[in-house]
Structure 1
Amino acid sequence: MQESRKDCHAWLTLLATALVPLMIGIFTVVITIQHQSSADRQRQQEQQQADNLQNERTFSTYVDDISKLLLTKEVTTDNKALLYIRTKTLSSLRKLDTQRRKYLLLFLYESQLLQYDKTKKHDRSTLNLAGADLNHIHIEKPKNFNNLSLPGVELNNASFTNCHLQHSRFADSIMNDIRFTNSFLLGTRFSRCSLERADFRNTTLTHVSFRSAILRHADFTRAWTKAADFTNADLYGALMTEKHLQEAELLDNARLPNGSFAMIQEKNLVVNGENIGCDKKLLSSWTMESVIIKTFQHYRSSPNCSFGIANLSSLNPTSIEQQVVVANYSVLIDSGKAKYNVSGSFGGNAYAKITFHTHAAVKTGKQVMIGLDERQNKTGTMIFQQKLGTIPVDTRQFVLVVYFMKIPEGRHNFAVFNNIRITALHLEHSHQMSINNLRFYPAHRCFSNEVIEQIKHYDKYKVPQHIIRNILIDTHQDKFYIVKNIGNILKVTSNNTITQELAVQTCLTEMKEADLTAKIEVIVQRNYELNMIFIACTKTKNNFQRYG
């Protein structure tokens, strides 16, 4: 027992001896970690202070330099001075934090360097900040930014809340997730801007231009869009009501929130492509070597004037060319649903080639040839020809070239053309779509389960399909149904085997109980054979009188 106590005492002594340095080690580690954490926080604070000091120094130096320049000369008429300010501004913006970038913007605006003067024809007096990083700038207090000029800048996740931005310009800017809530925008231009998920709630957008702007999933809740221009705008998924679309002035070529397209302009994209031979010289829309122009002759056949070369043997192969811009169809083109329709009248050895180019003037790889019809070789008159196809995605312009050249196997020595046309089409829908008539379109004629049950109920009693149609229109005034729709539903859903006599008897009994004014008309043929029994209650009679 005594030896056991000695062993226990020895172990306790050993443990105590080991715990002391262990505790010291743990304490040392904890103290070291605390000191390290404190040192890190101190370094972060010092770095923040240094960054803040550097930001303040950069901002102060910038303001001082620009202020001195503004005091010494009239920079609004000096392009070199404006270029110097632009360079210094872009350099400073890259070094400044978000808050001071906001102050820099306010300084430039209040110095009238970013205020567009509508009375002047050129932009020489406005500082060009294209490419400037103004992301995350938030201006939330009531502020007047009328005539603000910021084309081509980056303003992602920024905000102008409770601001006046009349006649301001943001063309070609990237402004995704920007907020303009409770602001007043009159005559402001957002042409070709990227405004995905932009917030325009409670915003006045009178006479605002959204031409070719990307407005996918933008929020227009309680916004006023009177006389707004949405030409070629992409409104897919935008929170808009029918009233917003009705108030807008232009919706040509635009994609609507439901993914459909408004009216597609089917005008001739070729400038001076018709009756070109009526002028004594080649019109400015076409280009060609000047020494060749005088060799062209006019082929007149009232009331049209054609254009071509009378004697190809005396000339080297030549051509005339025109660039056709289709940027106003970009949304339809990039959806992959745009079609081209190329047509013209060609005679002799004349033909045309259309090459598709992207916005960077790069060929898309697709070409269309028209005018090389073998019938041209058999007749001396012009032949109308036409081709239809899909416009490649990302196309922004066509290059149209009309060739006049001697074909070895051709029998003619002349080349002539007229009435050349290129139009962009959307075959799924390429006609005027009235906002007031949206309910007449297929997407608005879908039958809910409730309506299908109503149709089956009326059919059970052999109610004529045109009367069913009238009842549904009266009940669901936001929809429009045609008899064919009713018939299609009954083909799929109806399993009614009740006989005509039993149906009439059952319906007559129920209607007598429900409506004492119920009317029955028996229609017979000339041979007195029963043709139809027409049954109508008061409501169906009213519908019949209303819809005929």
Structure 2
Amino acid sequence: MTRKLNRLSLIKLFFSALIPFTIGLFTVITTIQQQKFSSAQREQDKQDALLSRKQSDLHAENLHKEKVYETYLDDVSELFTMNNSKDTLMKIRAKTLASLRQLDIERKKHLLLFLYDSELIYHSPEKAISSLLKVNEADFNGVNFRGTVDATCSFNYLYLHHVYLSKASFINCFIDRSNFSYSIMYKIDFTRTRFFRTSFRFAALNQADFSQGTFFEMDFVGASLVECNFTGVRWITQYMDFIGTNLTGAIISDQLLKRMKLHNSILPNGTWGPIVRKNLVVNGDAEQNDSLTNNTHPTGWTVSVPGRLSSIAYNSQNSTTGYGKYHFRVTPSYSLKLAVSMAQNISFDEFILLITAGMARYNVSIDYQCSGNQYGYMQLTFFDMNGLKYEPVYRETKSKMQIERLKLSNQFNREMHKVQLKVGFIRNLTYDDTSTYNEENYCIADNIQFFITKLN
């Protein structure tokens, strides 16, 4: 009997304790749930506030960009109606570059169209290039033009020299007589676009897509076409200028490759195409004036003292086998007291890829024959693409009466883009002989050559 009472007491005790325990447990669970809900609510409030702030910032940013664009249109329109002077164009250029840095892609597109419609970047044949807006380094990255059934995409005489157009697109467009030279155009999309008489000289077009396009009289000299896509491209002309281009990894058919002028270029498989060997000097043999007996304005040359240098026919006294009919010398009627020279600027456009790859060498030579108190010299002054000069390279004759070939040869610096070749005639005061007749004191120069070769 006692044992039964003890069990009953324990059972009563258990149930009496279970009720407050259950209530306490419920209270704890409810409290935790409320805390979680409150925490979630606070987090949601934060997210809502952040989203609202972002929307507000985007709205403010959009208003700012719209204000920048509208102000630009008003300012440029006002400047443009005044005149088209150099000072005005400089002001428009400054406003253009500053505004582009603050605009989104869509407004950049409209700004480009505004410049084009205003003919500031429209280079028609009757317009001097000085009347165009210099848009060098303008940021048009990402702009998108697409021709559709409802809206055509057409540009004639578009002038976008040295601009940024990476990841931009001109899809299914018509582009004629336009200039994209020196522009940075990585991953640009030209799918199904028809090009006529357009220049991409020295443009950076790595991974550009020209697939299903049409080419007519195009200029790609010096362009970087690494991994470009030319799938399905149709060429109207028989041959196309791809001289000095880098086609490494380009997608292009063998049939098209055979129709490309690939001198001094890197082929899609990474090997070099044929290297052109030609004399870059214009009229280096004086023969381009053979219709005249005494031409004081040699073709291709700028004379330091006009009329003082001539291309003259050889005579029995100075005739030399192996040369043509004519040579260069100081004009006979001119008494040389100091120095006279003729100069020619030589561009390396077709060899830039070879030069920048560090694989080019120049070889220059002039044949002189000097007598009396005169001697000859040559001087090379190289320039980089920005017009900065290198230290001139100089060489002068040593012998008299005999034919002497002056030579200069060296590897190119990778930054060299052009050279001024100067050919000079100087009176040698050290050995001056006043008793010698003037006609016996002279130098003749002939066979002037400048070659670029590939290093092995």
Considering the TM-score relative to the shorter chain, is it more than 0.5?
A: yes
Specify which of 275, 283, 298 is matched with residue 286 of structure 2.
Answer: 275
Contact 1:343/1:385 (CA < 8 Å) preserved in 2?
yes
SS class of match (1:160): strand
Contact 1:406/1:413 (CA < 8 Å) preserved in 2?
no
Contact 2:312/2:327 (CA < 8 Å) preserved in 1?
no
1:138 matches 2:152 = no
1:99 corresponds in structure 2 to: 106
CA distance, structure 1, for counterparts of residue 207 and residue 163 of structure 2? 17
Q: Name the CA shift for 1:232/1:34 in 2 (closer, same or farther; >3 Å).
A: same
CA distance, structure 2, for counterparts of residue 252 and residue 264 of structure 1? 6
CA distance, structure 1, for counterparts of residue 74 and residue 306 of structure 2? 59
CA distance, structure 1, for counterparts of residue 131 and residue 429 of structure 2? 57
1:89 matches 2:96 = yes
Matches within 5 A, 1:259-270: 259-270=270-281
Q: Name the CA shift for 1:42/1:207 in 2 (closer, same or farther; >3 Å).
A: same
Contact 1:298/1:308 (CA < 8 Å) preserved in 2?
no
Contact 1:230/1:251 (CA < 8 Å) preserved in 2?
yes
Specify which of 343, 358, 375 is matched with residue 384 of structure 2.
Answer: 358
Percent sequence identity is 29
Give the deviation of 1:53 after TM superposition.
2.2
CA distance, structure 1, for counterparts of residue 32 and residue 135 of structure 2? 64
Contact 2:310/2:330 (CA < 8 Å) preserved in 1?
no
Give the deviation of 1:205 after TM superposition.
1.3
SS class of match (1:145): strand
CA distance, structure 1, for counterparts of residue 420 and residue 73 of structure 2? 49
1:489 corresponds in structure 2 to: none
SS class of match (1:59): helix
2:436 corresponds in structure 1 to: none
1:419 corresponds in structure 2 to: 447
Instruction: Tell me whether 230-239 or 123-132 shows the greater mean CA deviation.
Output: 123-132
Matches within 5 A, 1:137-176: 137-142=143-148, 143-176=153-186
CA distance, structure 1, for counterparts of residue 156 and residue 344 of structure 2? 40
1:393 matches 2:421 = no
Specify which of 331, 341, 362 is matched with residue 353 of structure 2.
Answer: 331
Give the deviation of 1:129 after TM superposition.
2.8
CA distance, structure 1, for counterparts of residue 429 and residue 85 of structure 2? 58
Matches within 5 A, 1:434-453: none
2:6 corresponds in structure 1 to: none
Specify which of 197, 216, 222 is matched with residue 212 of structure 1.
Answer: 222
CA distance, structure 1, for counterparts of residue 301 and residue 124 of structure 2? 35
CA distance, structure 2, for counterparts of residue 294 and residue 144 of structure 1? 52
CA distance, structure 2, for counterparts of residue 104 and residue 34 of structure 1? 41
Q: Name the CA shift for 1:383/1:128 in 2 (closer, same or farther; >3 Å).
A: closer
Matches within 5 A, 1:107-118: 107-118=114-125
Which AA in structure 1 matches 2:216? T
Contact 2:297/2:306 (CA < 8 Å) preserved in 1?
no
Q: Name the CA shift for 1:35/1:105 in 2 (closer, same or farther; >3 Å).
A: same
TM-score norm. by structure 2 comes to: 0.74
Give the deviation of 1:218 after TM superposition.
1.2
Whichever structure has more helix as a proportion of its residues is: 1
Matches within 5 A, 1:519-530: none
1:502 corresponds in structure 2 to: none
Once the two structures are superposed, residues 31-87 of structure 1 have per-residue CA deviations (whole angstroms, 9 ceiling, x without a partner) of 4333222211111111111112222333344445556777xx486x66666555444
Give the deviation of 1:356 after TM superposition.
3.7
SS class of match (2:235): coil
Which AA in structure 2 matches 1:269? L
Matches within 5 A, 1:310-325: 315-316=337-338, 320-325=342-347
Give the deviation of 1:390 after TM superposition.
2.8
Which AA in structure 1 matches 2:69? F
Which AA in structure 2 matches 1:53? L
Give the deviation of 1:175 after TM superposition.
1.1
CA distance, structure 1, for counterparts of residue 341 and residue 158 of structure 2? 46
Once the two structures are superposed, residues 443-479 of structure 1 have per-residue CA deviations (whole angstroms, 9 ceiling, x without a partner) of xxxxxxxxxxxxxxxxxxxxxxxxxxxxxxxxxxxxx
Specify which of 51, 54, 69 is matched with residue 44 of structure 1.
Answer: 54
Once the two structures are superposed, residues 302-338 of structure 1 have per-residue CA deviations (whole angstroms, 9 ceiling, x without a partner) of 433242599xx98456655443322331012122222
What's the RMSD between the two structures over aligned residues? 4.4
Contact 2:311/2:327 (CA < 8 Å) preserved in 1?
no
Whichever structure has more strand as a proportion of its residues is: 2
CA distance, structure 1, for counterparts of residue 105 and residue 330 of structure 2? 63
Q: Name the CA shift for 1:151/1:23 in 2 (closer, same or farther; >3 Å).
A: same
Specify which of 180, 203, 209 is matched with residue 213 of structure 2.
Answer: 203
Give the deviation of 1:261 after TM superposition.
3.9
- Number of equivalenced pairs: 415
Contact 1:116/1:147 (CA < 8 Å) preserved in 2?
yes
Once the two structures are superposed, residues 180-219 of structure 1 have per-residue CA deviations (whole angstroms, 9 ceiling, x without a partner) of 0011111122222111111100000111221222212211
Q: Name the CA shift for 1:388/1:59 in 2 (closer, same or farther; >3 Å).
A: closer
Which AA in structure 2 matches 1:100? R
CA distance, structure 1, for counterparts of residue 455 and residue 28 of structure 2? 89
CA distance, structure 1, for counterparts of residue 350 and residue 140 of structure 2? 28
Once the two structures are superposed, residues 347-403 of structure 1 have per-residue CA deviations (whole angstroms, 9 ceiling, x without a partner) of 3443434344322344556x766555xxx53x6221345555433322212233445
1:240 matches 2:255 = no
Unmatched segments (≥5 aa) in structure 2: 1-9, 320-324, 434-439
Contact 1:308/1:417 (CA < 8 Å) preserved in 2?
no
Q: Name the CA shift for 1:400/1:129 in 2 (closer, same or farther; >3 Å).
A: closer
2:267 corresponds in structure 1 to: 256
Which AA in structure 1 matches 2:142? H
CA distance, structure 1, for counterparts of residue 183 and residue 39 of structure 2? 55
Give the deviation of 1:225 after TM superposition.
3.1
Contact 1:151/1:170 (CA < 8 Å) preserved in 2?
yes
CA distance, structure 2, for counterparts of residue 212 and residue 295 of structure 1? 36
CA distance, structure 1, for counterparts of residue 328 and residue 77 of structure 2? 63
Unmatched segments (≥5 aa) in structure 1: 429-548
CA distance, structure 2, for counterparts of residue 254 and residue 136 of structure 1? 29
Which AA in structure 1 matches 2:161? P
SS class of match (1:205): strand
TM-score norm. by structure 1 comes to: 0.63
2:189 corresponds in structure 1 to: 179
Give the deviation of 1:24 after TM superposition.
6.9
Q: Name the CA shift for 1:275/1:296 in 2 (closer, same or farther; >3 Å).
A: closer
SS class of match (1:176): coil
Give the deviation of 1:113 after TM superposition.
4.5
Once the two structures are superposed, residues 121-145 of structure 1 have per-residue CA deviations (whole angstroms, 9 ceiling, x without a partner) of 5136644433221101112343222
Q: Name the CA shift for 1:407/1:391 in 2 (closer, same or farther; >3 Å).
A: farther
